[in-house]
Amino acid sequence: MNNRRGFLKETALASGALITNSVFGHTAFFKTDTIRVATIGVNGMGWANTKAALKVKNLQVVALCDIDDNILQARKQELLVLQPTIQNIETYSDYRKILDRKDIDVVIIGTPDHWHALQMIHACEAGKHVYVEKPCGNSIGECNAMIDAKNRYKKIVQVGQWQRSQKHFKDALDVVHSGQLGNIRTTKVWCYQGWMRPQPIVPNSMVPSGIDYKTWIGPAPMRDFNASRFHFHFRWFWDYAGGLMTDWGVHLLDYAIQGMKAGNPNSVSALGGKFAYPELAEETPDTLTALYAFDNFNLIWDSAMGIDNGSYGRDHGIAFIGNNGTLILDRGGWEVIEEKQAKNKIAIPLHKSEDNGVELHWENFIDAIRNNTPNSLHCSIEEGAHIATIAQMGNIAYRSGEKVNWDATKNLFTKESINNTYYTKQYFNGYTLPKL
C-alpha cells in the first residue's frame, strides 16, 4: 500500500482520533453468512482497514468506536456513502458496550499502541475474531499475554503487517532462500521518514470539545492534555508507543528475520538520541542505530526522522548482503545488485510491486475465519508478537544504555533488572493486564 504515507500524513494533520475499544460476536464459522465488523479507532490505519474490509464479499461494517466524537461522526457519514445499503451504523465511545453486542463477529483495533493488548484480549474473551494493528503489543509481556488470549479463547487474530500479503515481498524472499546470493553476512534495515517530524513543545491545555481524554489515556499514566502528545504524535512517547522502531520496524525487521529464517537475537546494542530536533516534543529518538547479533549474521537497524536519504537511494528498505550480490527490498519492489568481486555474481533488475497489501491481507483474514483455518493467516498473533518483541529489544537496549542479552530458553533477558524495568509496562488508572 504505497499511498499509506500520504494517507497518514493527511490524517495526522487532521484533528484525528485513535481509540476506544473493540467489538465482536459469535464463534461460528462463516461459509456463506455475512460477517459483521466493528472498528475501534477510526483514524489513520483504523480507517484504512475499514475501507479495505468493505471490499471483501459478504462483509458489513455496522459499528464504529472512537474517543473523538468529531472524527467519529465524520467517519460515520463517510461510511454511509461507502456502504449505502447499511444505514443503521451505531457509534460508540466506550468499547465495552460494543463488546456486549452478540451480532458483531469481527473487531478492527486501530487505536494507539498502548491500547492494543487490552482491546485484543477483551475482544477475544467476548467471542470476537480480531484484526489488530501493528505493533501487536506495546511491551514483550503484552505480546505474550495476547498469544495466551488467542489460545485460551480459540479466536482467529490477524496482525496488520500487510506486507506479508504482497507478492513482491514473497518473491524477494524466494531469491534470498534460493542461495543465489551466497552466504549472507549482514542484513541492513533502514527507515528514513522525511514527513515524520515531532511537534513543537507547547504548554498543556484544556481537552478539546468532543474528546474523551480519560479513556484515550486508558492504562497509561495520567497526564494533563497536551496537543503535541495526542493523536498521530502519540508515537513519539514511551507511555504510548516506541517511535519508528515499533511503528515501521515491525514491518521491515519482519522481512529481514523471515529472509534469514531467524529466531531471536543473542544480544542487542543501540545508540541514538534526539540529535536532529532536540527542541521538539518527543521522547523516542529521532536517530537510532541498533545492532542485533545472531549466530551466523548481523542485523543493523538504522532510522531517522525528518530526512529521506536512506541507503541505496531509498527512504526505507531491507538489504540482504551476500557474497554474490545484495538483494534490496522495499514497498516499491526488489532488485539484486551484483557483487563485482564474486565468481558467481548475480544481478536481477527491479521487480515492482503491483498489488494492494492491505486489501490482500483482509481477504486472507476473512478466508481464515470462513474456513476456520487459523494456520492460513499471513500474520498470526504469534508471528506479530515475535517481531514486536524483536523491535522492543532494540528500544530496550537504547533506553537502558546497555548491551542486552537474551535467554531463548527462558524467553527473558539474562539481566533481571532489565526484565523488571522493561519487560512489561506498568498499568495505571485501575487497568490491569489479564493473566491467562
DSSP E strand stretches across 256-369: 267-273, 280-281, 287-293, 298-305, 316-322, 325-330, 333-338, 348-352
Contact assessment for residue 123 and residue 23, using Cβ atoms and an 8 Å cutoff: yes
Farthest CA pair distance, the chain: 67
The type of residue at 361 is: H
Of 25-34, 191-200, 353-362, the one with minimum mean pLDDT is: 25-34
Give the mean pLDDT of the chain: 93
Higher pLDDT, 156 or 26: 156
34 grid coordinates = 455475512
Domain ranges of the chain: 4-164+358-385, 166-354+388-408
Is the pLDDT reported for residue 104 higher than 50? yes
Model confidence at 20: pLDDT above 50: no
**Nearest alpha carbon to residue 161 among 218, 104, 116, 106:** 116
Q: What 3-state class would DSSP assign to 367?
A: helix
Q: What is the pLDDT of residues 132-177, one digit of tens each?
A: 999 999 999 999 999 999 999 999 999 999 999 999 999 999 999 9
Question: Can you give the pLDDT at residue 3?
Answer: 41
Give the integer Cα–Cα distance in Å for 335 and 326: 8
Q: Which residue has the cell 542485533?
A: 292
Beta strands in 178-242 (DSSP E): 184-193, 199-200
Which pLDDT score is estimated for 116? 98
- pLDDT class for 40, splitting at 50, 70, 90? very high
pLDDT tens-digit profile of 296-351? 999 999 999 999 999 999 999 999 999 999 999 999 999 999 999 999 999 999 99
State the cell numbers at 370: 470462513
User: For residue 408, with 0-12 CB atoms within 10 Å meaning exposed, 13-18 middle and 19 or more buried, which class applies?
Assistant: exposed
pLDDT score of 159: 98
Q: Are 48 and 41 in contact (CB under 8 A)?
A: no
What's the rounded mean pLDDT across residues 115-137?
A: 98
| Whole-number Å distance between alpha carbons of 196 and 218 | 25
The sheet carrying 325-330 orders its strands as 348-352, 333-338, 325-330, 316-322, 184-193, 298-305, 287-293, 267-273, 404-407, 412-413
Pairing of strands 404-407, 267-273: antiparallel
Residue 202 has pLDDT above 50, yes or no: yes
Q: What is the pLDDT of residue 60?
A: 97
For the chain, how are helix, strand and coil distributed in percent, rounded to 5? 35, 20, 40
Q: Within 261-352, where are the H helices?
A: none
pLDDT in tens, 408-434: 999 999 999 999 999 999 999 999 999
Q: How many CB atoms lie within 10 A of CB 248?
A: 21
Where helices occur in 179-241 by DSSP H, the ranges are 213-217
How confident is the model at residue 33, as a pLDDT?
A: 87
- What's phi and psi for 254, nearest 5 deg? -55, -45
Q: What is the topology classification, in CATH, of domain 166-354+388-408?
A: Dihydrodipicolinate Reductase; domain 2 (3.30.360)
Q: Say which amino acid occupies 18.
A: L
pTM over 0.75? The answer is yes
Q: Mean pLDDT across the stretch 52-69?
A: 97
Give me the percent of the chain exceeding a pLDDT of 70: 93
Give the angle 313-314-320 at the CA atoms, nearest 5°.
Answer: 100
Cis before residue 112, ω within 30 degrees of 0? no
Superfamily of domain 4-164+358-385: NAD(P)-binding Rossmann-like Domain (3.40.50.720)
Between 96-100, 103-107, 224-228, the lowest mean confidence (pLDDT) is in 96-100
Cβ contacts of 128 within 8 Å, gap of 6 or more? 22, 23, 24, 25, 99, 104, 105, 106, 107, 155
CA torsion sign for 310, 314, 319, 322 is: negative
> What is the number of other CB atoms lying within 10 angstroms of the CB of residue 277?
17
Q: What's the confidence (pLDDT) of residue 436?
A: 86
338 vs 328: CA distance, rounded Å? 11
In single-letter form, the type of residue at position 40 comes to I
| Closest of 411, 415, 417, 330 to residue 140, by C-alpha | 411
| C-alpha closest to that of 114 among 429, 427, 395 | 427
**pLDDT band, residue 71 (cuts 50/70/90):** very high
| 219-242 average pLDDT score | 97
Q: Is 106 left (phi over 0), alpha (psi -120 to 50) or beta?
A: beta
The CA R_g of the chain, rounded to the nearest whole Å, is: 21
